[in-house]
């Protein structure tokens, strides 16, 4: 293996795949990146046995093809430390990689490429294409509601539900639910329902460009989920479990509806939550005709009260909430106003954008 590459070409993909490499690995080779050189390009692969990420970059020149593995962290640190316009020459010499750039020389130890674990390559029963920004938007509008280390392991991830020409993302931790969807002509005849683990979802948020309309390929199998873009290939294991029927958690018949300014509500929640209980983050929300009051207090007998205008003609109502849960929802909604739908202080509140119906959120009340 012997090739030449520009420093700038290597840095960004190394940073991307470096996010998959765990700092503390049980297997030494999982700290390494697999380097595979063909006639024109370099393929770099990292894995933690749950996620595999492959980046491909063009090379300035190839004298000898081959493959090996080196420390992902050390290779990235070396590339970062070199000048921006540096040219790197890498050569596999026995069980070491020699890296030269200008007057600098580095010798890195290797581990055999054949010991590097490979992700499952299929089959993928469901394959379709969609824009990168659409997929990023679906994930971004729902991921915050995932569970964290919940004993119900299927809640520690996001559900992808595809049927009737619509791609849906759903996340819940039992206290709140987030749902977002987009219509895709490419999935009219497809049906799939899989759970992507929390780490994989957070990695996709980091990888996907919210401003890119590049078409990406989505592949879904029985045990793995794969995304293929022009710059990287991402593969993740799936959570093997049955996700709860989220449709039963969404209130369908509601007695009361209110409308409030998203920005005014967000600012009021931010200020009031400063004096809420640091552990439980509880606040009281009081709805009256034309006005919404938010009251927070803590064990130190401190109190905050906020008032904002509200379009509401129903009876007075008081509901307790976790302020952080409401803030997550409000921050995810992009419309100018937010619609609240509810029945009583003991049932979940449905929150939706006022202008579109592709996302909705359910927040359960809390006792104060």
pLDDT digits (tens, 9 = 90+) for 47-78: 999 999 999 999 999 999 999 999 999 999 99
For domain 2-115, give the CATH superfamily. DNA Polymerase III, subunit A, domain 2 (3.10.150.10)
Are 211 and 140 in contact, with CB atoms under 8 Å apart? no
pLDDT at res. 122: 72
Q: Could you tell me what percent of the chain has a pLDDT over 90? A: 85
Residue 27's alpha-carbon distances to 111, 118, 271, 329, in angstroms, are 11, 14, 47, 40
Better-predicted residue by pLDDT, 296 or 315: 296
DSSP string covering 100-158, please?
EETTEEEEEE-B-GGGS--------SEEEEEEHHHHHHHHHTTGGGS-SS-SSGGGSEE
- Please enumerate in sequence order all residues whose Cβ is within 8 A of that of 90, keeping only pairs 6 or more positions apart, or say none: 1, 2, 3, 4, 5, 35, 97, 98, 99, 100
Going across the sheet that includes 66-71, the strands are: 66-71, 32-37, 41-47, 51-58, 232-237, 224-228, 215-220, 126-131
pLDDT digits (tens, 9 = 90+) for 337-346: 999 999 888 8
pTM for this structure?
A: 0.91
pLDDT at res. 97: 97
Q: How confident is the model at residue 278 (pLDDT cuts 50, 70, 90)?
A: confident
pLDDT at res. 127: 94
Are 162 and 195 in contact, with CB atoms under 8 Å apart? no
Are 93 and 25 in contact, with CB atoms under 8 Å apart? no
Element spanning 55, H or E = strand 51-58
pLDDT digits (tens, 9 = 90+) for 97-141: 999 999 999 999 999 999 999 877 778 999 999 999 999 999 999
Q: Is there a shared CATH topology between the 2-115 domain and the 251-363 domain?
A: yes
- φ/ψ of residue 78, rounded to 5: -65, -45
Q: Domains of the chain: which residue ranges? A: 2-115, 126-248, 251-363
Looking at CATH, the fold of the domain delimited by 126-248 is given as DNA Polymerase III; Chain A, domain 2 (3.10.150)
Task: Say if residue 313's pLDDT is above 90.
Answer: no
pLDDT digits (tens, 9 = 90+) for 17-54: 988 987 777 889 999 999 999 999 999 999 999 999 99
How close are the terminal C-alpha atoms of the chain, in Å? 65
Q: How confident is the model at residue 368 (pLDDT cuts 50, 70, 90)?
A: confident
- Please enumerate in sequence order all residues whose Cβ is within 8 A of that of 234, keeping only pairs 6 or more positions apart, or say none: 51, 52, 53, 54, 203, 204, 207, 226, 227, 228
Element spanning 33, H or E = strand 32-37
On average, the pLDDT of the chain sits at: 94
Note the CATH number of domain 251-363.
3.10.150.10
pLDDT digits (tens, 9 = 90+) for 290-311: 999 999 999 999 999 999 999 9
Please give the angle made by the CA atoms of 189, 192 and 197, to the nearest 5 degrees.
150
Mean pLDDT of 333-361: 92
pLDDT at res. 254: 87
> Is the N-terminal amide bond of 157 cis, ω within 30° of 0?
no
pLDDT digits (tens, 9 = 90+) for 190-203: 999 999 999 999 99
pLDDT at res. 357: 81
DSSP string covering 237-288, please?
E-B-SPPP-GGGGS--S-SEEEEEEHHHHHHHHHHHHTTS-TTT-EEEEEEE
Q: How confident is the model at residue 367 (pLDDT cuts 50, 70, 90)?
A: confident
């Amino acid at each position: 293996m012997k090739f030449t590459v520009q420093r700038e070409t290597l840095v960004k993909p190394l940073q991307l795949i470096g996010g998959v490499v765990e700092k503390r690995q049980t297997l030494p080779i999982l700290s390494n990146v697999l380097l595979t050189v063909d006639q024109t390009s370099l393929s770099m692969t990292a894995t933690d046995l749950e996620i595999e990420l492959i980046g491909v970059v063009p090379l300035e020149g190839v004298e000898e093809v081959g493959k090996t593995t080196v420390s992902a962290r050390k290779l990235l640190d070396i590339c970062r430390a070199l000048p921006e316009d540096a040219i790197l020459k890498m050569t596999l010499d026995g069980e070491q990689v020699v890296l030269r750039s200008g007057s600098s020389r580095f010798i890195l130890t290797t581990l055999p490429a054949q010991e590097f674990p490979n992700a499952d390559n299929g089959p993928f029963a469901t394959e379709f294409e969609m824009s990168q920004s659409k997929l990023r938007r679906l994930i971004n509008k729902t991921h915050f509601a995932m569970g964290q280390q919940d004993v119900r392991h299927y809640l520690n991830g996001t559900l992808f539900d595809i049927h009737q020409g619509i791609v849906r993302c759903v996340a819940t931790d039992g206290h709140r639910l987030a749902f977002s969807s987009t219509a895709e002509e490419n999935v009219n005849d497809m049906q799939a329902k899989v759970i992507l683990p929390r780490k994989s979802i957070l990695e996709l948020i980091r990888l996907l460009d919210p401003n890119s309309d590049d078409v990406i390929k989505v592949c879904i199998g029985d045990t793995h989920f794969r995304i293929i873009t022009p710059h990287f290939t991402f593969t993740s294991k799936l959570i093997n479990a049955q996700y709860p029927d989220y449709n039963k958690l969404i209130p369908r018949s509601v007695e009361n509806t209110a409308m409030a300014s998203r920005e005014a509500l967000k600012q009021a929640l931010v200020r009031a939550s400063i004096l809420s209980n640091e552990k439980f983050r509880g606040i009281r929300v009081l709805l009256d005709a034309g006005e919404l009051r938010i009251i927070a207090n803590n064990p130190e007998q401190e109190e905050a009260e906020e008032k904002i205008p509200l379009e509401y003609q129903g009876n007075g109502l008081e509901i307790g909430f976790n302020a952080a849960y409401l803030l997550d929802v409000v921050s995810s909604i992009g419309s100018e106003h937010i619609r609240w739908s509810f029945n009583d202080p003991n049932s979940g509140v449905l929150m939706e954008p006022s202008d579109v119906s592709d996302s909705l959120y359910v927040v359960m009340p809390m006792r104060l």
